Amino acid sequence: MTFHSQRCVVVLATDMRWGFDSSLGEEANRFRFLTPSMGSEMVHRDGEAFVEVDPSGRYGRYGELLGSGAVKKVYRAFDQEEGIEVAWNLVKLRSFLGDEAMINRLYSEVRLLRTLKNKNIIALYSVWQDEEKNTLNFITEVCTSGNLREYRKKHRHVSMKALKKWSKQILKGLDYLHTHEPCVIHRDLNCSNVFVNGNVGQVKIGDLGLAATVGKNHSAHSLLGTPEFMAPELYDENYTELIDIYSFGMCLLEMVTLELPYSECDNVAKIYKKVTSGLRPQAMNKVKDPEVKEFIEKCLAQPRARPSAADLLKDPFFDGIDDGENNADNHSIN
C-alpha cells in the first residue's frame, strides 16, 4: 500500500505554521501544520447551521454525509467566498497512527489532486490538518448526482449515445492523467470512483487514493485496486498506465449491462483465477451490440495490444459523439 514514485509531484506550499510528528512519517509531515481549534459547537449563519468551519473561515461543513469509505467520510459543505456547494473530505488520522503506508497514501492523494487541473478530474480547493481533532481535511468540488454506479442504477433506461458521452469524458480524464508530467496511474478506476453532474451530463474521475506517479518508463510494482476491475498484469505487480484502460473497459461493461464484472464469482480467489486465465466476465454475454463488445474487448486486450486513452478517443466508436457537457444548450426553448 505504499506510494510508489520515481519522480514525485510538487508539494503544495502553504502559509500555515509547520509542525512535525515523528509518528506520522515524513510524507505526512509535509502537510502537517498547526491549526486553530474549531471546537465542537455549531457555527450559525443566516440559514442552515455549520457543524464546523475551516481555519480560514471560508468553508463551512454541514452535518449531511454524502458518502463514506474505508479511509474517509465526505460531507456537504459550502464555499462562502464563491457561493458554491463543495465536498468536505474528513479523515481521522488517529486510526492510522503506526501505519505509515496508509498515512502516506492519504497525503499522496491530496498532493496529487492539488497538481491536477482538468475538467474531467475532481478538483481540490483546500487542505489542512486539525491538530486538536487529529484529522486531515480537504475541500473538493462536489458532483450533484453522486457516483456513476449509483446514477446508472437510478436511471436504468439510458441510450448508447449517452453511455458513449460518459465514456468519452472518462477517457479524456485518463488521457490527461497518463500524459501528465509525471504520468499518473489511477490504479482503482471503477464506476464508484467516477462522479456525475447529471443536470449537464458531465462525469469526473475522483478517489485518487491509490494513484501512483511514475517516471519515464511508466512502470509500477504495487498490488492494489478493486479485484473485478484489475488487469491481469496488475496481479504480477509489473504494469503501466494501461491497467487503467482495462479498468475503463470493465466500467463500460458495467454501464452497459448494469452488472458488476465477475458477479458470478463469490470470492476474490475465483475472480483472480478467471482474470489470470484470460476468462471474460459472464456479463460480456449480455452485450448484444457487436460494436460495443468489440470496443470493450480492445480495452481488455493484452497490454502490448491494448490501446492508450488517446488512441481510444480516435476510435470510430466515438464518431459523431461530442463530450455531452453542454446539454443545457441542447435543451433550450425555441
What DSSP assignment string belongs to 89-133?
A: EEEEGGGGTT-HHHHHHHHHHHHHHHH---TTBPPEEEEEEETTT
Across the chain, mean pLDDT equals 81
**Average pLDDT of the segment spanning 98-119:** 79
| Topology (CATH) of 26-141 | Phosphorylase Kinase; domain 1 (3.30.200)
Which of these, 224, 205, 202, 229, lies nearest to 296 by C-alpha position?
Answer: 229
The residues, ordered by sequence, that sit 6+ positions from 33 with a Cβ below 8 Å of its Cβ are: 14, 16, 17, 18, 19, 128, 129
| pTM reported for the whole predicted model | 0.79
Q: How confident is the model at residue 29 (pLDDT cuts 50, 70, 90)?
A: low
pLDDT tens track for 37-73: 344 445 555 578 999 999 999 999 999 999 887 667 8
Q: Using CA atoms, how far apart are residues 84 and 120, in angstroms rounded to an integer?
A: 19
- 148-329, CATH topology level: Transferase(Phosphotransferase); domain 1 (1.10.510)
Which tens digit of pLDDT belongs to each residue from 183-208? Answer: 889 989 999 999 999 999 999 999 87
Given the residues 79, 130, 207, 244, select the one marked as catalytic: 207
What are the sequence ranges of the domains in the chain? 26-141, 148-329
| Residue 311 annotated as catalytic | no
**pLDDT, average across residues 301-326:** 92
